[in-house]
Structures are given as C-alpha cells and as structure tokens.
Amino acid sequence: MFIIINSGSSSLKFKVFDNIEGKTTIAEGLAERIGVDGKVVIKYQGQSITAEIEMKNHEMAVKIILDQLLDLKIIKSYDEIKAIGSRVVHGGEEIKESVIIDEKVKDIIKKSVKLAPLHNPGALVAIQAFENIVPKVLQVASFDTSFHQTIAAEQYLYPVPNNWYEQHQVRKYGFHGISYQYICKYFAEINQKKPQDLNLVICHLGNGSSVCCVKNGKSFDTTMGFTPLDGLMMGTRSGSVDPSIIEYMIKETKQDASKITEMLNKQSGLLGVSEVSSDMRDITIAAEKGDKKAKIALEMYTQRVAQWIVQYLNNLDSKKIDGIIFTAGIGENSHVVRAKIIEKIKLIPLEIDDEKNIAPYSDFKKISKKGSSINIFAFRTDEEKMILNDIKKYTKN
Ligand code: AMP
C-alpha cells in the first residue's frame, strides 16, 4: 500500500493506492478541523464513512487515519504500508526534485516555513507523525516549487534592491509544480514525445490559478511568485495588483498590513469583484442571468488568463509549440471559461471546436479545430498520481 498525503494548516487529505502504478484508488479521505474539534471522512468501496473524533494536532490526525484504515481492514497491519508520499508546498531554492525525507530535508522544509507559513508547518508535522508511528516506512516529499527551479534569474528576480533576494530570499518561486509536472509527463507519453522536447503553455485554473510556460520540457516562467498571491486573478486571491494599494488601504481603513494582505488573499478575486461567490460555477450562472458584477468578474478572469497565454507563447519557438492546455477545476470543467479565454486571444489564429469543447471526456481531450494554429487541450491533472510516481524512483514495486 502507498499513502499519499496533502496537509493544509488544519486539514489532511489522503489517498491509498494498492500499487505504484496508481490505477485504482483503494480509499481516500479527509481529516479536517484539526486543532478545532475534528472530523474524518473516508471513502471506501463506494461508501463514505464519517467520524467525529477530537484531533488536537496533525499527529493525532495521522494516528486516527491509520486506525481507521486498520478498522476498515483497508490494511491488515502497518507492515503493508510500503511508502508514504507527501505534498510539500515550499522547498525554497535548495530542493529541485522529489526527495526521500531525511533530517536534512526536514530542516529545509522547516527553513521554508517563513516562506509558506500556512502550508509547510502542517506538512512537517504530518511527516514527523508518520515517522513516529511507522518509523521504518519510506517517506518521500514532492514540492510545489521544485518544478520551477529551472526558471532563470531574469525571470525569477524582482526589479527590487538586490539584497532583498540575497539576504531575504525575495524571488519568484512559483507553485502548482506537481500539477505541471504531471501534465508534462502524461502529455509526453500520450503524444510519444521526449519530455525535453515539450513546449507548452499550461493554464492551471482552479481555486488557485496560475499559468506556466514550459520550454523544452522545463518551467521557463510561471505567474505565481514569491507567494501564491501573485499573477492571475483567482477564487479569492487578487493576483498581481499595484503594490502601492497596500499602504494606501492601510491608511484609508486604519487596518494593519497583515489584515490588508489577508483581504487580498481571502476576499478578493472572483469573490471580491462579483460579490457573488469564489466558485466559478456560481459566477457563470449569475453572469448568464445578467448579474453585472459576476459578468465583470468573468470577463476580468478570462481576460487575464488570455493575456498571460499570449505573453508566454511569445517565449516559445512558434514552430515547436505543442499546445495550450487547460487543467484544474475550472480549466478541466468549464467550457464557457475555456471558450471565453480563447476568444480573447486576437494575435494568433486559434479556433475552438464548440462540440469538442462541450463534449464529456475522461482524462484529456483536444478542443481545437484542425485549422487552429496551435492545438488546445483540456487535461485532467492528478497531483496524487504524480507524487506516487515520484515514489516509484525510490522503490522496486
Ligand atoms: P480546484 O481548486 O482545482 O479544485 O478547482 C476549484 C474550482 O473549480 C472552483 O472555482 C469550482 O467552481 C471550479 N469548477 C469545478 N467544476 C466546474 C464546472 N463544471 N464549471 C465551472 N467551474 C467549475
């Protein structure tokens, strides 16, 4: 058995696979409200089992999840666990690929806590909890930042005093790397291409949204920056705004910088503009019904993605472009958003096939017409499968 973990600040998602190829998910679940009260939901054999159990911290959550796996006979004993893979948001500059977790790696994750204060602590505690409970089991970490370590200094540096970078690590790190890696791997396999020959613009459009320019198989640039607040407009995040707004709003509202930053993270984006919802489904429905603010939010969102696509295509050799890919919750599911984005790209002759765009699909589909100058795809991402694949490097079965 292989367990894949994705820990948030007060939650812990997990998936259990019976083999390294990940063809079937045996069970999956979520421990949430960690540190508040505690609730565990496990989906297993078509059933959803919910338990309300107090979880003071991530260590208790890990213990409860493992107990539930035993109680439900998903595993007969801890000996059946072959490896555990964890998603870690931030690996700083040092981690460039998935790694076996040892003391040095734990130190790097710890050092990066100040760069990802909401995410790295939960991951670290969960890793430590597994180590305490099943010390002999191999643990591997996959990082959201590592895929972007190929970005060159002229892209990752900000035009600010150099010592902000040299002394304070202020630079673009980029996120959603596990998802981009998955798309690249499977796109290359499906199209029988060498990974190093891939040239793509990938739009990961979910509650958090970013775009990545993949040049010769490597991340050349991405829209998220020092934190996941940068770049595109998102569900509740503003994306890039004039930085002077922060000081101005501090003075206007007499609130401190952390409150304004929190508003940029949690009350902006689709939610802030539409005043309807952060959920793209609600936005499209409200816009269709004529809600003016929802319409503006939808137009803003799609306009910003379109602009980044054009910018990023400009970094690629036009004869070698393999495609534009839409992925994550919105990118995979919203034909309306995909069509609107492509419609807003005027510089390049792109043509969406409306029937293909709307048609149901399983893993991926081409949604462009034959005459489109660049192929366009919708592609379902699977970060857990990518982490499982990362474990494969370090195990025999
Ligand atoms: P993610 O963060 O990748 O889970 O994506 C979450 C986002 O995907 C939310 O904004 C959802 O509204 C959006 N989403 C999921 N399904 C659809 C759909 N059928 N149409 C539009 N948006 C969707």
Q: Is the pLDDT of residue 246 over 90?
A: yes
Task: Look at ligand 1, atom 8, and give the residue with the nearest C-alpha.
Answer: 329
- What pLDDT, in 10s, does the model give residues 135-180? 999 999 999 999 999 999 999 999 999 999 999 999 999 999 999 9
Among 330, 335, 382, the mutation site with the greatest number of ligand 1 atoms within 8 A of its Cβ is 330
The average pLDDT across 83-94 equals: 95
* Tokens 């472009």 found at: 321
Task: Look at ligand 1, atom 23, and give the residue with the nearest C-alpha.
Answer: 330
**C-beta of 270 in contact with ligand 1 (< 6 A):** no
Cα 326 to ligand 1 centroid, rounded to whole Å: 12
The DSSP secondary structure of 157-198, one letter per residue, reads: S-SS-HHHHHTT--S-----HHHHHHHHHHHHHHTT--GGG-
- What pLDDT, in 10s, does the model give residues 299-331? 999 999 999 999 999 999 999 999 999 999 999
- β-strand pairing of 39-44 with 200-205: unpaired
Return the bridge partners of 27, or none.
16, 44
Which residues are the active-site residues? 144
How many Cβ atoms are within 10 Å of 5's Cβ, its own excluded? 26
- What pLDDT, in 10s, does the model give residues 202-217? 999 999 999 999 999 9
- Give the domains, in start order, of the chain with CATH numbers: 2-143 (3.30.420.40), 192-383 (3.30.420.40)
Comparing CA positions, the residue from 219, 139, 215 lying closest to residue 176 is: 219
Which pLDDT score, from 0 to 100, does residue 397 have? 56
Cα 98 to ligand 1 centroid, rounded to whole Å: 28
Contact between 37 and 22 under an 8 Å Cβ cutoff? The reply is: no
Which pLDDT score, from 0 to 100, does residue 23 have? 84
- Give the pair of three-digit tokens for residue 343: 């419609």
- What distance in Å separates the CA atoms of residue 132 and residue 128, rounded to the nearest whole number? 6
Comparing CA positions, the residue from 187, 189, 179 lying closest to residue 147 is: 179
**C-beta of 205 in contact with ligand 1 (< 6 A):** no
Among 176, 280, 382, the mutation site with the greatest number of ligand 1 atoms within 8 A of its Cβ is 280
Mention every residue, 6+ apart, whose C-beta is less than 8 A from residue 82.
1, 2, 137, 138, 395, 397
Cα 330 to ligand 1 centroid, rounded to whole Å: 4
- Alpha helices by DSSP H, listed for the chain, are 58-71, 103-111, 120-133, 153-156, 162-166, 177-190, 244-253, 257-266, 269-274, 280-288, 292-313, 328-333, 335-343, 354-358, 383-392
Contact between 174 and 145 under an 8 Å Cβ cutoff? The reply is: yes
- What pLDDT, in 10s, does the model give residues 363-395? 999 999 999 999 999 999 999 999 999 999 898
**C-beta of 329 in contact with ligand 1 (< 6 A):** yes
Which pLDDT score, from 0 to 100, does residue 396 have? 67
CA distances from 290 to 272, 300, 337 (A): 18, 16, 16
Of 44-58, 96-110, 136-150, 354-368, the one with minimum mean pLDDT is 44-58
State which ligand 1 atom lies nearest to the alpha carbon of 278: 10
